[in-house]
A and B are shown apart, each in its own frame.
Chain A
């Protein structure tokens, strides 16, 4: 029987990474989604394309550029120096930054869609009822886009959990620091430890199934509650 703590460490690390990444993405992604949904600027589709790039790029390509950016000679290195480090590559913080880029389209797109589906009218109504744009955002846009936020959060979390290629490129394999679930499974398979690989892989399978199932049920319930 494998050592429990050895299995538990990557699980805990993965959940931590996915939770922090999701929170950062909601904070950063919401203004981006809002701007993409509401701006009439011609730049919107350019920015939307940049946000969507991780959907198409091989994770190794994204990971390669992130590695350079996070390394000692990139902006990540400059930030690390402020805190007495040399580089953000191969650190947990680096993983968070990488995951934010990697999972961004999965959070921004549903929120943008939700904002767009609200239409113009509720904002006009709010304005004629004396709500300032900032007030309208919180009192009308966010509550009406709630299904989009839920979908975005669940997808962002799940997608970060399933991240492999980018992490391998920028995080490596430091136990307790950057060795997340997907990398651990890879390791077990490489070293022919099939039992451990089975436990973690099976767990991921069940987890993914329930994430998608609960999201669908949630969407159906919100859909049934009416517009």
Chain B
């Protein structure tokens, strides 16, 4: 499965020109600030908006302006999940789920199709089946919408900020289902989001879109390491994703000991077996630097490494640094005064003091399959 896309054009005053490829299964995130054009890209892929360009999916050409090809939306085997669930109010939950299923062509290149029972199980919507759509909570509505899209036997699932319209409680309710989806479905998912936490938790690849242009592309780990993407990724949540291997659990202090490329770290107890690979997120603002190994401090994770890169932000007090810890890199946000006082420069040995590590998910894509 391979997706190649290029869209260019203007909508009102907004100009878009983006090309990208997405491959394999798993989630590719289209990430950027609101208004950057990521939803437009998704709509172009579904054929709901028409800009000039080219789109091939799995060897089939869906759009090619040079060849005069444009497949109508209802002839594209995509599942589309809108930001608002947009359920049909005149149909019950069951009627909504079956709307696409009844119209889809059977037969799917990636083996057995999902049937109603699979989807109902996967999304936990059995108790809702015969209810009216108006009697559902926001989270329930969005789960039905996802199920409805899946049952139309898509070969490609497009999700436009499916969590953005939900409150935190409903988000936490849906996220586990999305994680199950990405690991159990054989189809590629393109996921639009402006929330870096969501992206790092769900996606494998990401494309950063900034003001109608592609700013970066790569695995989530690669993109998050980059120091030059501030305007697009946002400063507050900047950080990196690293993988570590679980060694043991300490139930007394509720900690999990893990191995990070040969260095020991501790994180709040996670639900994973020893030996399992876990994915962790470390925010740049949670990392401090020291030139000697400090003692007598509360921070428990002190990781040795070398300065790889320093990016001083002119006209601010801050500098972003990238610390090579042998196998992975951490980002640290420190003051420019510290850079000067500690004599930080590429190659210098430092200790990264990590105040907080967030557990993202159990395994890397493909690790458990």
Q: Do A and B come from one complex?
A: yes
A interface residues, Cβ below 8 angstroms from B: 121-122, 124-133, 135-136, 139-140, 143-144, 146, 225-227
Shortest A140–chain B CB gap in Å is 7
Known: A121-B82, A129-B152, A130-B152. A144 touches B90 (CB 8 A): yes
Beta-carbon nearest neighbor of B48 in chain A: A124
* CA gap between A25 and B95 in the complex, in Å: 31
Q: What chain B residues lie within 8 Å of A226 (beta carbons)?
A: 89, 132, 134
* CA gap between A225 and B134 in the complex, in Å: 9
Tell me if B103 and A140 are in contact (CB < 8 A): no
Q: What chain A residues lie within 8 Å of B76 (beta carbons)?
A: 128
Tell me if B103 and A130 are in contact (CB < 8 A): yes
Q: How many chain B residues touch the partner (CB < 8 A)?
A: 28
Q: What chain B residues lie within 8 Å of A125 (beta carbons)?
A: 80, 82, 86, 88
Q: What chain B residues lie within 8 Å of A130 (beta carbons)?
A: 74-75, 77, 100, 103-105, 152
Tell me if A129 and B82 are in contact (CB < 8 A): no
B46 within 8 A of A: yes
6 A-B pairs besides A124-B86, A125-B82, A128-B80 with CB distance below 8 A are A128-B152, A129-B74, A130-B75, A140-B88, A143-B90, A227-B89
* CA gap between A226 and B86 in the complex, in Å: 14
Choice from B86, B100, B149 contacting A121 with Cβ under 8 Å: B86
* CA gap between A27 and B248 in the complex, in Å: 74
* CA gap between A121 and B105 in the complex, in Å: 23
Choice from A122, A124, A135, A146 contacting B73 with Cβ under 8 Å: A124
Q: What chain A residues lie within 8 Å of B84 (beta carbons)?
A: 121
B364 within 8 A of A: no
Shortest B93–chain A CB gap in Å is 14
Choice from A128, A132, A146 contacting B79 with Cβ under 8 Å: A128
B99 within 8 A of A: yes
* CA gap between A129 and B102 in the complex, in Å: 9
Shortest A20–chain B CB gap in Å is 29
Tell me if B90 and A131 are in contact (CB < 8 A): no
19 contacts between A and B (CB under 8 A): A124-B73, A125-B80, A125-B86, A128-B48, A128-B149, A129-B74, A129-B99, A129-B103, A129-B104, A129-B152, A130-B75, A130-B77, A130-B100, A130-B104, A131-B103, A132-B74, A143-B90, A144-B90, A226-B132
- Which residues, 151 to 200 on B, are CB-close (under 8 Å) to A? 152
* CA gap between A122 and B78 in the complex, in Å: 16
Q: What chain A residues lie within 8 Å of B134 (beta carbons)?
A: 225-227
Choice from A127, A133, A140, A143 contacting B48 with Cβ under 8 Å: A127
Interface centre among A127, A144, A226 (most CB of B within 10 A): A127
B143 within 8 A of A: no
Q: What chain A residues lie within 8 Å of B80 (beta carbons)?
A: 124-125, 128
Known: A121-B82, A226-B134. A127 touches B74 (CB 8 A): yes
* CA gap between A125 and B336 in the complex, in Å: 51
Beta-carbon nearest neighbor of A132 in chain B: B74
Q: What chain B residues lie within 8 Å of A139 (beta carbons)?
A: 99
Beta-carbon nearest neighbor of A225 in chain B: B134
Interface centre among A122, A124, A132 (most CB of B within 10 A): A124
Beta-carbon nearest neighbor of B81 in chain A: A128
B245 within 8 A of A: no
* CA gap between A109 and B78 in the complex, in Å: 36
Q: What chain A residues lie within 8 Å of B105 (beta carbons)?
A: 130
Tell me if A128 and B103 are in contact (CB < 8 A): no
B329 within 8 A of A: no
